[in-house]
Amino acid sequence: MGLEEKLPSGILLTTVEALAGAARSASFWPVTFGLACCSFEMMTMGTPRFDSARWGQEVFRNSPRQADLMIVAGRVSQKMAPIVRQVYDQMAEPKFVLSMGVCASSGGMFNNYAIVQGVDHIVPVDVYVPGCPPRPEMLIDGIFKLRKLKVAKLPIGSHREEVEAENERLALAKPATIEQKGLLR
Amino acid sequence: MSDPSTPKNTPRDDSNGQQPGKDAEETKDKVPSTPPDATPEGGPEERADLEPTPTGPGSAQGPEILAVRDGMFGVKGTPDTSGYGRLRRVIEFPGPSQRPYGSWYDAAIDRIAALMPNAGQVITRVVIDRGDLTLHVAREHLLALVKNLRDDAQLRFEFFSGVSGVHYPTDTGRELHAVYHLGSMTHNRRLRLEVSAPDSDPHIPSVVSVYPGADWHERETFDMFGLIFDGHPHLTRILMPDDWPGHPQRKDYPLGGIDVEYKGARIPSPENRRSYN
């Protein structure tokens, strides 16, 4: 990662991060990964009515190597799962995953032998957008939240290594979902 | 071409008894299988001393009951309605039909008999149900029959619509069926062929040499039911991953759902839910 590692930490890096984050979120290109019905709403987001080109997202890159964002739109079947992982692996850092629709988030209405119950079994997901299918406005909202909260603030260089190590430590210490009791009071 | 064989393990005259000749009126109402362009026969009804028999175009004998299923999934015997527990479905096979069949069916079956001298062994049963002709075919003669159906000018069933499988676990000796849907564009007709195979020997000859479009359909039937089509160039799984165990659309294959996990709670999948009383 060459240049980014040699950048000095501290205030200067924060400024560089803000600049890089602004650039990244201004041209946040997704890879075409429409699997099922949700892909229609994703395509609709690119149409003139909702127009993802307004914020630099009209280019759905066909090659994952040129993309920043993987919008998993639709059911992931058992047969498709290794392919999802392969496309994710082919993307270059920094990459983000948006799980669109309930089928990609949790298996949706399909709780059976053929559908993976949530794409987060396969790839790490940054934002989940529920819906069956989510309206393009909901998908846009999810993308905007992702851009504002994660992409614009993405750490670079040595700062990133520190943040990653900290996140790893927290994730290992966190209890499993089934253990998190008492939250519905 | 009426069917000499009787169904194997299901008693014919059971409580749902449709004795031929007795409840003919009920049979006619229940199985309105007269094709729309059939000419009505006026033969046996004219004799007043005979019981009216269900002859006439395409009338079928009583249906054969294969299974009675209560409820769809989930707990049974409780008021829990999540699995449609009070639903009762009778799985029936329409009975064989007698001559004359009506509309184009007689001519077609006579033509098959003219082309194939052993037609009595090829076609084991003729069923006309709701205006559709279904021929039950013995599996060893399937390829020859299908070639004649496609090539002969009077039959010309050149359109292959699909193969799919059915699994009747209670019909021992012929658990797996493959159903072929053929169509004739030249004559504007549709035909259905049904071939059965036992679970212990699930082999059926492949029709890919006659209908190349059957390729993926047979792969899907193999994937979902385990029917092995002999002569298929590459019979591999098509919907499930290549190393998937089992055949999902069989009746004894579970739904495969997993428990849904929430924070601090777990909901079982629909077929495993307990009664909530």
What CATH number has the domain spanning A25-177?
3.40.50.12280
Distance set, CA B73 to CA B68, B167, B213 (Å)? 14, 18, 35
> Which residues from chain A sit within 8 angstroms of residue B241, using beta carbons?
78-79
A103 annotated ligand binder:
yes
Do β-strands B159-167 and B176-184 pair in parallel, antiparallel, or remain unpaired? antiparallel
Full-model pTM: 0.76
Selection from B168, B173, B40, B27 nearest residue B95 by Cα: B27
Identify the CATH homologous superfamily for domain B103-230: NADH:ubiquinone oxidoreductase Nqo5 subunit (3.30.460.80)
Check CB contact under 8 Å for B263 and A111: no
Q: What is the pLDDT of residues B204-223, one digit of tens each?
A: 999 999 999 999 999 999 99
Interface predicted TM-score (ipTM) of this complex, two decimals: 0.79
Check CB contact under 8 Å for A180 and B264: yes
Q: Before A94, cis peptide (omega within 30)?
A: yes
How many C-beta atoms surround the C-beta of residue A48 within 10 A? 6
Rounded (5°) CA angle B173-B176-B180: 130
Structural domain boundaries of chain A?
25-177
Q: What is the pLDDT of residues A137-176, one digit of tens each?
A: 999 999 999 999 988 888 888 888 999 999 999 999 988 8
Q: What is the DSSP letter of A150?
A: I
Check CB contact under 8 Å for B239 and A178: no
| Arithmetic mean of pLDDT, A49-53 | 92
